[in-house]
Homo-oligomer: A and B are copies of this chain.
Amino acid sequence: MRSYRKFRVLALAGMMMALLGATAGPGATSDPLPAWNQGPAKQAILDFVRVTTDPSDPKYVKPADRIATFDQDGTLWVEHPVYTQVVFALDRVVALAPQHPEWKTTQPFQSVLAGDRAAMAKFTLKDLEAIALATHAGMSVESFQATAAAWIAAAKNPRWHVPYTDLTYEPMLEVMRYLRANGYRTYIVTGGGQDFVRSYAERVYGVPPEQVIGTALDTNYTYTKNGTPVLVRTQKVLLDNDLSGKPEDIYLFVGRRPHAAFGNSVGDQQMLEYTGAGDGARLTMLVLHDDAKREYAYGPAAGLPNSKIGTFTQALYDEAKAKGWIVISMKRDWNRIFRFGPATASGTP
């Protein structure tokens, strides 16, 4: 009789686990990070989640404080040879040219319209700013988001011939999902444009707009001719969400210090410092681009010169070593980089 009851209890437990498995994802025994090779980086993520979610652990973090922040360009998706948003801005110059006949004879627009790659390679920061403001300001917020969403749905990366949103790193998407499954809120904290990223972040990363913090233009609340309220994007940069702007804006938006932060360049240094300076368990990681075959390789830590895009200096590498930040080797730590293509240690993405 007793063993029969025990059997029934076990059967019930099994049914419940099956039900839970069906609704809440893979069971506890399956690997939540299959695109990661065994190693210190993967282990650090698993250990961090284990200690911060175990109420009996001294490093337990209560759910309200479970905040993880992710840089985007170079951390969640490909940033070379140029940021995706720059490609968008250049495409917008071409699309908007009929409304701006003066651009045919005005730099930097003239070079873009002529497709003059040599001139474009020499663009100064001021040139790029002029292009960004001409293509990102002066319309309603809804109109801009619709334009960005339509572009990102249609544009394809010339190396891989897939949408840019397919060039997100599968191992990082796994980390985001794994953290969320353990009660973390995952924020994107990007030097890119807040509204540009918001136009696809929910679909691509599962990150809702209120959890995207980015470089932001000021908006102006005004009215259309028929009296409808409208928010118009101005040319004034309200938030420059890079370098020390990242911890400043995290505090502005969230009001809490993250427990985990992921970056890949000097623009993420202050975010990682700020995160790492909190007490208790903190996870601070930097993605190192050292896989020229499957993606790109750049920077001294990969044995190559500093890159203008996604700068990972020797000084940042030294600070990471000194502070115990974990450097993720794309080549060694990731058995798969993108969702498309076969999962191999190297050779294909």
Contact = CB atoms under 8 A, between A and B. Distances in A.
Given A252-B238, A254-B209, A255-B209, A247 B270 contact: no
A244 interface: yes
Given A218-B248, A248-B218, A198 B255 contact: yes
Nearest to A195: B255
B219 A256 contact: no
Given A218-B248, A238-B252, A208 B64 contact: yes
A228 interface: yes
Contacts of A210: 210, 253-256
Given A221-B270, A229-B274, A253 B253 contact: yes
A231 B219 contact: no
A337 B134 CA distance: 52
A218 B229 CA distance: 28
Given A210-B210, A231-B274, 10 more contacts: A64-B208, A198-B255, A208-B255, A210-B254, A210-B256, A216-B252, A218-B248, A220-B244, A221-B245, A238-B238
A333 B228 CA distance: 31
Top 8 nearest A-B pairs (CB, nearest first) are A209-B255, A221-B244, A210-B254, A229-B273, A219-B248, A229-B274, A229-B277, A221-B247
A209 B256 contact: yes
Interface in A253-297: 253-256, 270, 273-274, 277
A231 B252 CA distance: 11
A128 interface: no
A330 to B, nearest CB: 28
Interface string A207-238: 01110100010111100000011010000001
A44 B252 CA distance: 34
B251 A231 contact: yes
A84 to B, nearest CB: 19
A175 interface: no
A141 interface: yes
Name the interface size band of chain A: 20 to 34
A169 to B, nearest CB: 24
Contacts of A253: 210, 253
Given A208-B64, A212-B255, A248 B231 contact: yes
Contacts of A208: 64, 255
Nearest to A256: B209
Interface string A192-211: 00110010001000001110
A56 to B, nearest CB: 24
Indicate the member of A208, A248, A274 with the most B CB atoms within 10 Å. Answer: A248
A144 B255 CA distance: 12
A273 to B, nearest CB: 5
B270 A248 contact: no
Contacts of A254: 209-210
A244 B219 CA distance: 10
